[in-house]
Amino acid sequence: MRDVDLAIVGAGPTGLFAAYYAGFRGLSTVVIDALPEPGGQVTAMYPEKMIFDVAGFPAIRGRDLVTNLVEQAAQFNPGYLLGVRADTIDHLDGKPVLGLSDGTLLNCGSVIITGGLGSFSARPLPCAAGFTGTGVCYFVPHLDDLAGHHVVIVGGGDSAFDWALALQPLARSVTLVHRRDRFRAHASTVARVQALPVEIIVNAQVERLHGTESVSGVEVTVKGDGAPRLLPADTVVAALGFTADLGPLVDWGLDLDKRHIKVDSTTATNLPRVFAAGDISDYPGKVRLIAVGFGEAATAVNNAAIAIDPAAHLFPGHSSDAG
């Protein structure tokens, strides 16, 4: 049994900012996430995409936002337990005890759930199921890794077109394949990609991946055409979207509304000493934005501090006074 003042379940932007605020409040903190690196959905889905609605930054790349949040929290040395799930919750002497998927038990003063969409996984590319080589990915952590590659992107949503925009200046070629002739992506993004030397193949089905140790080509058929077409490919980006669910959290006894956790104005859930912030939480008038999650993280930490120590003050003081 490991003791910690505050356990934060979810290492996305809200959880990382909560880790900073917990340190500012003098709380020992551990951040838990099933993904192998911090950043949550930002790292997994759009690390290279520009974000325009974070206060103080006219624009900031997703990866840079995560790096800054980790650096901001690092001054207080939070612990990270990555690649593991928070599976169970019990209470011992009124305090939450988390059971993790690796067998670790955390005796917590309080818990803040900042799990975003919950556990999520990429929708698979059907023809990749039997392919044993490399070169198939569902997001691109580092754009430079694909420099000089023939890249085939499969999908018609925002992620597919975002990857096309980001990769076109670096890749040897970019081809986008979609099974319909209409796109889910924002019209302005589609127009930007159409203006680039990116081939867009519609009404097309990816039938087979060629190659042994790695991808060498992608075989597609176009509705109404004759023979299949073989596209050169070093990398296939399957941008087919993600499915999400709350995973083990549904068994914790939380008051849920579909995929969200109901909270009050202090971000408290119906479980003692358990709070929720960010996209996973819900209350009347909720707006799911990173900017809102940052405010909820501060609210959650400061109310958790009182739950841990009733003699503590709710107002944390101004960070500028702390030097």
Residue 69 neighbours by CB under 8 Å, 6+ apart? 13, 16, 17, 20, 38
Rounded Cα distance, 185 and 162, in Å:
9
Please report, in range form, the residues annotated as the binding site.
14, 33, 41, 46, 86, 120, 279, 320
Domains and CATH numbers, the chain: 2-120+243-322 (3.50.50.60), 124-238 (3.50.50.60)
18 token code pair: 């909560």
Rounded Cα distance, 303 and 142, in Å:
38
Please report, in range form, the residues annotated as the binding site for FAD.
14, 33, 41, 46, 86, 120, 279, 320
**The pLDDT of residue 243:** 74
Q: How many CB atoms lie within 10 A of CB 225?
A: 11
278 token code pair: 């960010």
Rounded Cα distance, 257 and 220, in Å:
42
**pLDDT by residue for the chain (323 residues), tens digit each?**
899 999 999 999 999 999 999 999 999 999 999 888 899 888 777 777 789 999 999 999 888 999 999 999 999 999 999 989 999 999 999 999 999 999 999 999 999 999 887 766 678 899 888 787 789 988 777 889 999 999 999 999 988 998 999 899 999 999 999 999 999 988 988 999 999 999 999 999 999 999 988 999 999 999 988 789 999 999 999 988 777 778 899 999 999 988 899 999 999 999 999 999 999 999 999 999 999 999 999 999 999 999 999 999 999 989 888 76
Rounded Cα distance, 12 and 18, in Å:
10
320 token code pair: 């500028």
